Amino acid sequence: MNPNLFSRRRMLQTASCGFGYFALSALCQSARAAATYGPKLSDRPSPFRARAKRIIFLCMSGGPAQMDTFDFKPQVGKKPHPGSVVKFYRHGESGLAISELMPETAKHADKLCLLNGMHADTGNHAQSFLQLHTGERLRPRPSMGSWVSYGLGTENQDLPGFISLNTSKPQVYASQFLPPVFQGTPIGINGEDMSQATIANIASDHLPASVKRRQLDLVQAMNFDHQSLRPEDPGLEAVIQSMELGFRMQMTAPGLLDISDEPASVLEAYRVGKQRTEGTCKQSDFGRQCLLARRLVEAGVRFIELNHGSWDQHKNHRRDLTANCEATDAPIAALLSDLEQRGLLEDTLVVWGGEFGRPGLTPGNGKDETGHNANGFTFWLAGGGVKGGHVHGATDETGARAVDGKVHFRDLHATMLHLLGLPPNDLTYRYAGRAHRLTGPEGGRVASEIFA
């Protein structure tokens, strides 16, 4: 071969063009994603058929014991199944088996779709909680609420697309490398009294609204001038949008969070201000969270997360499990009823679950304590196009391991995105040289078997 036909210089010139093509391809992909999904928070239609318009995630942190809530294990002979500490009864036309600890939620059995084959990668709280929220268990990544906000925006330009209630962990609402306008807005942090909770730094009484508007217009004019000199920086636009959103929220959010206009019958149904706090169940007013979730849904927020814990019952399992169920059962039932009566449940996906489950109590050892179980546990969904009164998947006879209809967190995320009309494995954002997605490098499988 004649070496002059392909010299070192010729090789470097050719390769440099190739690198340019790669760079151009990446820029085009980023531009297409930005044009389709972001970085603005404006309302965007779903690119595919959407069964749901929004999601309410009822996060039960700590790991609810599946065998004492929704994963019914029939008796073995004349004795209760090993590990069971409660009775189950069948409810509704579907005959769905639900624990005696959830009598109010059980009245909605025909709305629930039980995922009894859930599983995750680790039984460590922090890592599994992170994976539940972001799809990644080791590194900070955007929360699923931020991904939904990125994909769909918000239906109300005066409110964020994603709100997190009663949270103590920033990873629950962080947007990470997504533009900051898609970050969740936390309301009520570290278990503070939800009756006093508001959006941090939202109040501003030092100027009338008209003067504040003129003040912001002046600041934004300077921001736009600054942005025009740096068109390659998408973060600047997101910050400008965040400032504008913050101003509009000052006008809208306080009234939305004030539930004093709700009838007494509604406050009673949600058990607002009537929560037990014994044992490890020291969370603030879960009923208020559920009522605020309904009000936020009506106002057009896309993703709302409610948080209740701790379900981490290593000791005093019966006492603390009973307290947690009592604190959440009636408010959840009221939320489902309220959404249905207002015609919102059919296009609102309600999701219930925690970062993993728990093995049953070991029979005969006399201890009232449980551990962690990421190999098999339960979530349930309602509304938003899923089958009601349906059980999908199963654990083995001891409730220890998912053996049928298995659904990983990646699959749950994929299913949620699909129900919203978003492409679960193609909703991506380019960062640090590669395309990232909620469903991770492996991708997720949509559990289409549960669709109505």
The confidence score (pLDDT) of residue 276 equals 56
* Higher-confidence position of 207 and 381: 381
The confidence score (pLDDT) of residue 311 equals 94
The confidence score (pLDDT) of residue 8 equals 58
pLDDT band at 157 (very low <50, low <70, confident <90, very high): confident
Q: Is the pLDDT of residue 410 over 80?
A: yes
* Higher-confidence position of 186 and 243: 186
The position carrying tokens 């004492």 is: 68
Q: Which of 294, 283, 296 is nearest to 256 (CA)?
A: 296
The position carrying tokens 């999904």 is: 37
DSSP secondary structure string, 37-59? H-SS-S----SS--S-SEEEEEE
**All domains of the chain, ordered by start, with CATH?**
38-450 (3.40.720.10)
Phi first, then psi, for residue 75 (nearest 5°) are -65, 150
Q: Is the pLDDT of residue 421 over 70?
A: yes
The token duo for 124 is: 């460590």
Cβ atoms within 10 Å of 196's Cβ, excluding its own: 8
Question: Within 13 Å, how many C-alpha atoms sit on residue 411's CB side?
Answer: 17
Its pTM stands at: 0.83
Mean pLDDT of 347-368: 85
DSSP secondary structure string, 382-451? ESTTBPSSEEE-EE-TTSSSEEES-EEHHHHHHHHHHHTT--TTT-EEEETTEEEETTTTT-----GGGB
DSSP secondary structure string, 288-318? HHHHHHHHHHHHT-SEEEEEE-----SSSHH
The confidence score (pLDDT) of residue 64 equals 96
Q: Is the pLDDT of residue 312 over 90?
A: yes
169-225 pLDDT tens trace: 888 889 999 988 898 988 886 555 555 555 555 555 666 666 666 665 666 677 666
Q: Is the pLDDT of residue 80 over 90?
A: no
The confidence score (pLDDT) of residue 71 equals 95
Write down the H helix ranges in 258-374. Answer: 264-269, 286-299, 317-341
The position carrying tokens 């490098």 is: 441
Q: Identify the helix (H) or strand (E) that includes residue 19.
A: helix 8-37
The position carrying tokens 């531009």 is: 31
Percent of the chain with pLDDT over 70: 72
Residues 6+ apart with CB under 8 A from 26: 430, 433
Q: Is the pLDDT of residue 78 over 90?
A: no
Q: Is the pLDDT of residue 18 over 60?
A: no
